[in-house]
Amino acid sequence: MFTGIIEEVGTVSEFKKLSNGAKLKIKCKTILEDINIGDSISINGCCQTVTDIFSDEFAVDVSDETLRITTFKNLKNADSVNLERALTPTSRMGGHIVQGHVDGTGKFISAEKKSEFYDMTFEITDDLNRYIVKKGSISINGISLTVANINNNQIAVAVIPHTYQNTTMNLLKPNDIVNIETDVLGRYVEKFLSSRDNNSSNLTEDFLKENGFI
């Protein structure tokens, strides 16, 4: 589990596609101070398991499923990636609950600087849009952000200067593909409200509204 608060921007030092999945090595510094083989690391929002640790980089094994769903299939040497170590019991919950289970991808449309902030717009698919609400949480390339506006299949997020400067947000170009993870709460609400899966459930949309959940 992660918070979506990026600790470091690392660099892809090796990306090798195999007959089944891929091998990925990331050059970094801060992350290496406290990781062990078997630890979970969020790489651009995708939870991966550390398989090897070297003096200035670590390695993970990427599954075929991850290559299919995420932007990993487009990675190349020297690409920058957002990194975050998994939560510990004493960690501050500074962002929102991010599982590192990418739901799909979206497309970066534009960025507009307003004073010191950046309004950034992304296009997403219908299957992801159904879980996104204004003022709700979303993870884009592993970054915890708040949805400022929704216009059909385009969502806008307001990015503070620190986040813009210390993540890969400042490297995005129009039409770049990004990893998207929606707020897990939305998926559970849909499950609970589904008459097909919960015929005997007393949980209703009115109940959720009355108690401030939606």
- Hey, where are the domains in the chain? 8-85, 104-189
8-85 and 104-189: same fold?
Answer: yes
Asked if 146 and 135 touch (Cβ cutoff 8 Å), the reply is yes
Report domain 104-189's class: mainly beta
Which residues does 204 contact at the CB level (< 8 Å), separation at least 6? Answer: 193
Asked if 107 and 175 touch (Cβ cutoff 8 Å), the reply is yes
pLDDT tens, residue by residue, 46-86: 999 999 999 999 999 999 999 999 999 999 999 999 999 99
Asked if 15 and 77 touch (Cβ cutoff 8 Å), the reply is yes
* Two tokens, residue 210: 């009355």
pLDDT tens, residue by residue, 86-112: 987 767 667 787 888 999 999 999 999
3-state secondary structure 136-187: CEEEECCEEEEEEEEECCEEEEEECHHHHHHCHHHHCCCCCEEEEEECHHHH
Does domain 8-85 correspond to CATH entry 3.40.640.10? Answer: no
Q: What is the pTM of this model?
A: 0.85
Closest CA to 130 of 190, 69, 204: 190
